[in-house]
Amino acid sequence: MPSLGADMDEGTLVEWLTTVGAEVARGEVVAVVETAKSTIEVECFESGTVTELLVEPGTTVPVGTPLAVISPTAPVRPPPARGPVPAGDATATPLVRHQAAEEGVELAALHGSGRGGRITRSDVSRAAHPAPSRHPAPSRVHASPLARRLAESLGVDLSAVRGSGRHGAVKADDVRAAAGSRTGPDQAATVKEASVAAGARRAPKAAASDTGTSAAAAAAASASASTSTSDRAAIARLMSRAKREIPHYYLSTTIDLAAALEWMRRQNSTRPVGERLVPAALLLKAVASAAREVPELNGHWTDGRFVAAAGVRLGTAVSVRGGGLVAPALADADRMPLTDVMATLKDLVSRARHGRLRASETADPTLTVTNLGDQGVESVFGVIYPPQVAMVGLGRVTERPVAVAGMIALHPTVTATLSADHRASDGATGARFLTTLDRLLQHPEDL
Amino acid sequence: MNARRSASGGSTASTTYREALRDGLREALRTDDRVFLMGEDVGRYGGCFGVSLGLLEEFGPDRIRDTPLSESAFVGAGIGAALGGLRPVVEIMTVNFSLLALDQILNNAATLLHMSGGQLSVPIVIRMTTGAGRQLAAQHSHSLEGWYAHIPGIRVLTPATMDDARHMLAAALDDPDPVVMFEHGSLYNEEGVLDGTVDSVDLDSAAVRRLGTDVSVITYGGSLPKALAAAETLAADGIGAEVVDLRSLRPLDDATVLASVARTHRAVIVDEAWRSGSISAEVAARIAERSFYELDAPVQRVCSQEVPIPYARQLEEAALPQPASIVAAVRQAVA
């Protein structure tokens, strides 16, 4: 069963388009497979004769399950040509020409590897006896015991990992690298979110009160988080689970912040220093309001279905001095006036950095925002923190050229991204969320 | 924890492995009347390796007794003395000659407690020199301590540091059962510092002599300085080798070994004995049995060539584990 998409872990064989005994060529369509998303024709990876069909139509099997056995067909060699072989422009000694005639090899079709492009005897031999096509014999992967154990806990397929050890053996580091690259562009976000997961142990009661499945991960983190290694393991488990179970889809849009920041500047000029706004508060408030307008992204995936949350509890990553992160939740951020959002944010950040968060403040976010803008990146595609169904990523607020009334102007902009759970919503919903966010930020006075 | 600190504290003092052993003997002779030393040339000659030099003059011929060349007889006499209530320390010149007394050690010392239904313990300490590296050729150079470690009923010690040389004897004499101590011949002239705050050591635990994160180099006795030298070389290349000194081959403290392997995920065992059937094989087997899922590379072993130890210097050097061969094995393990 081939993987027909990054989020596919099983597929249903709908129909065989070949039979036992049939000759198949690489690239030929041999089967129809239904995935969670669509019905897809499966192309054959090898040429040969189908000797066995292993899976009955209608059966659902995991990715990687053999569907059929194809035996390589002996290469059909053309009968030896009679008479002189046209040599074309090829340079070859008489001995080589004689050998080519004997073996029925056309010299003009060969690329000479000898001096001056001369065709050698071994060139002719190779052409006459091509190396047998490689049969996908299931060979045992050489991997260290530690690598095998890690692969299992991180959900890495060992046969897909390139071993860097002696004789190509897969070592623990190879598995870690494979686990890291699997999340691809989200790696930075993974680290950040993972730290959020580790941060959860700072408030163990949060885990206890969390009825969602993240409680298990958070509890695991708190149980074994005495060292950075076990922190890492807890992060690995949670993020592996997120990537294994959640079919993420990703959207991104760049939002013009000129109006929002200009409004904020004017507001701040009339506010006392202690009450001044920062762009982060504006962005968070807008995200919370967008979440209220698009409730399909605000809630939890539990027991195989999406449960929308009553209010918006916006998880907000806060970096802690000395390393680590916590993700306190801004309760009712959608209903709170902007000034209160700002005050609450300041209060939360200050107490988070002193390790004095209340358990209720870290429990049950309904949507999380990850902001790597202060780390200088332009955009971040987060890994969804189960059982939530979406993660909003905010990059750096930076000036970019934008078209305004037929002119090019430099405006402050931010790239907002959305990672969302495809089980709970579709791309159209996600798009609506990001356009809503954009619209809200064009009218900051209404926030 | 293999060293107990004295409450009063103490000073550190420069010494040699030989002097540390002698100080241990002197202390034992002073503090317990039942202790006496016997063996070939231990008295007037001062010991074949000079360990007991001066003790005859200090303690007299009743307690520092020269024996004929008769290993079976004087080890047997020692066992008898132990049964009779004394605390004999019997010195055998080299492990090769101890084979003449193996019947006494295996069939009597190691078994009498069992054969007597727990009535007769044999509190004897047998010291002997082991190992190569001094051009003493094939009848004085072998490392057979792994054979002794095969025998239930005796304790097998391999002091490799100044503190262990100084304090292991007292702990061995406290043990009511037979103890065999192996002193590696190339260590006698080693100089080092005695930790004045240590006043006793245990006999049950291995010790981590150097911390490292990339590989555990597990060794004992005369190979310890070589392993530490190799670790120093490797450190210059950014490879952190943790060096574990087994100290006791029976009982074998596999908990310390396995804990180290669990940290580094790679193991190289250095043993001057022949590879086949050696204590290195036992350590490798225990790692495979109990830490299989911690391993990120096959266990490597650095042992002596399986030949009688040659006399010629360069051949002898080539036959033994050396820092360079340990470095090479570690590189294979971390490759």
A165, closest residue in chain B (CA to CA): B335
Question: Maximum Cα–Cα distance for chain A, whole Å?
Answer: 101
- B8 band by pLDDT with thresholds 50, 70 and 90: low
Taking an 8 Å cut-off on Cβ atoms, the answer to whether B297 and A144 are in contact is: yes
Read off the pLDDT of residues B78-99 as tens digits, 9 standing for 90 and up.
Answer: 999 999 999 999 999 999 999 9
Q: Residue A409 belongs to what domain range?
A: 240-446
How many angstroms separate the CA of residue B333 from the nearest CA in chain A?
9
Any domain includes A290: yes
Of B201, B218, B236, the one marking the end of a domain is: B201
Q: Which residues of A touch B265 (CB under 8 A)?
A: 144, 146, 172
For position A259, what pLDDT does the model report?
92
Taking an 8 Å cut-off on Cβ atoms, the answer to whether B295 and A166 are in contact is: no
B335, closest residue in chain A (CA to CA): A165
Q: How far is CA B330 from CA A163, B240, B255, B265, B324, in A?
A: 19, 10, 22, 12, 10
Tell me, yes or no, whether B67 and B159 share the same domain.
yes
Tell me, yes or no, whether A331 and A436 share the same domain.
yes
Interface size, chain A vs chain B, as Cβ–Cβ contacts under 8 Å: 26
User: If you average pLDDT over residues B9-30, what whole number do you get?
Assistant: 89
Of B157, B185, B201, the one marking the end of a domain is: B201
How many angstroms separate the CA of residue A148 from the nearest CA in chain B?
8
Taking an 8 Å cut-off on Cβ atoms, the answer to whether A165 and B332 are in contact is: no
Tell me, yes or no, whether B229 and B244 share the same domain.
yes
d(C-alpha B140, C-alpha B230), whole Å? 26
Q: Which residues of A touch B335 (CB under 8 A)?
A: 165-166
Q: Residue B292 belongs to what domain range?
A: 207-334
Q: Which residues of A touch B297 (CB under 8 A)?
A: 144, 165-166, 171
Q: Which residues of A touch B292 (CB under 8 A)?
A: 145
Q: Which residues of B touch A165 (CB under 8 A)?
A: 297, 335
* B interface residues, A as partner, C-beta within 8 Å: 265, 292-297, 332, 335
Tell me, yes or no, whether A307 and A418 share the same domain.
yes
Q: Count up the domains in chain A and report the number.
A: 2
Taking an 8 Å cut-off on Cβ atoms, the answer to whether B296 and A149 are in contact is: no
Mutate which: B296, B331, B332, vs A, most A CBs within 10 A? B296
A164, closest residue in chain B (CA to CA): B335
Tell me, yes or no, whether B112 and B249 share the same domain.
no
Any domain includes A266: yes
Tell me, yes or no, whether B173 and B295 share the same domain.
no
Tell me, yes or no, whether B7 and B106 share the same domain.
yes
Any domain includes A281: yes
Taking an 8 Å cut-off on Cβ atoms, the answer to whether B295 and A165 are in contact is: no
Taking an 8 Å cut-off on Cβ atoms, the answer to whether A145 and B332 are in contact is: no
Using CB atoms, which residue from A148, A149, A165 is nearest to B297? A165
Tell me, yes or no, whether A178 and A311 share the same domain.
no
Using CB atoms, which residue from A146, A166, A171 is nearest to B294? A146
Q: For chain A, 447 residues long, give each residue's pLDDT as a single digit of tens.
A: 877 654 567 788 888 888 888 888 877 778 877 766 556 677 777 788 888 888 888 888 888 888 888 887 654 444 444 444 444 455 777 788 887 887 777 777 777 777 777 787 778 877 777 655 444 444 678 899 999 989 888 888 888 888 888 888 899 999 988 888 754 443 433 333 434 443 343 333 333 333 333 434 444 444 433 445 555 676 788 788 889 999 999 999 999 999 999 999 888 888 887 778 888 888 999 999 999 999 999 999 988 899 998 889 998 876 665 555 666 788 888 888 888 888 888 888 777 776 566 666 766 789 999 888 777 889 999 899 888 999 999 999 999 999 888 999 999 999 999 999 999 999 999 999 999 999 999 998 888
Average pLDDT of chain B is: 95
Tell me, yes or no, whether A174 and A284 share the same domain.
no
A446: nearest Cα among A259, A253, A256, A270: A259
Taking an 8 Å cut-off on Cβ atoms, the answer to whether A171 and B292 are in contact is: no
- Give the residue, B103 or A355, on which the prediction is more confident: B103
Tell me, yes or no, whether B178 and B233 share the same domain.
no
Tell me, yes or no, whether B254 and B162 share the same domain.
no
How many angstroms separate the CA of residue B266 from the nearest CA in chain A?
10
Q: What are phi and psi of B333, to 5 degrees?
A: -65, -35
Using CB atoms, which residue from A145, A166, A171 is nearest to B292? A145
- What is the CATH classification number for the domain harbouring B258? 3.40.50.920
Q: Which residues of B touch A166 (CB under 8 A)?
A: 297, 332, 335
Q: Count up the domains in chain B and report the number.
A: 2
Any domain includes A234: no
How many angstroms separate the CA of residue B5 from the nearest CA in chain A?
30
Tell me, yes or no, whether A173 and A246 share the same domain.
no
User: Of A158-167, B63-72, B171-180, B198-207, which range is least confident?
Assistant: A158-167
Any domain includes A149: yes
For position A114, what pLDDT does the model report?
75
Residue B91 tokens read as 């010195």
Catalytic residues of B, by residue number, are 71, 140
Tell me, yes or no, whether B190 and B237 share the same domain.
no
Mutate which: A146, A149, A150, A170, vs B, most B CBs within 10 A? A146
B184: nearest Cα among B218, B141, B217, B214: B141
Tell me, yes or no, whether A158 and A263 share the same domain.
no
- What is the CATH classification number for the domain harbouring B54? 3.40.50.970
Of B170, B201, B232, the one marking the end of a domain is: B201
Taking an 8 Å cut-off on Cβ atoms, the answer to whether B292 and A147 are in contact is: no
Any domain includes A418: yes
User: Of A170-179, B124-133, B165-174, B292-301, which range is least confident?
Assistant: A170-179
Tell me, yes or no, whether A328 and A440 share the same domain.
yes
Tell me, yes or no, whether B138 and B215 share the same domain.
no
* A interface residues, B as partner, C-beta within 8 Å: 144-149, 165-166, 171-172
Amino acid at B246: L
Q: Where are the beta strands (DSSP E) in chain B?
A: 3-5, 13-16, 35-39, 64-66, 87-94, 125-130, 155-157, 179-184, 191-194, 198-201, 207-210, 215-219, 241-245, 248-250, 267-274, 300-304
| pTM, entire model | 0.52
Using CB atoms, which residue from A149, A166, A171 is nearest to B293? A149
- What is the CATH classification number for the domain harbouring A378? 3.30.559.10
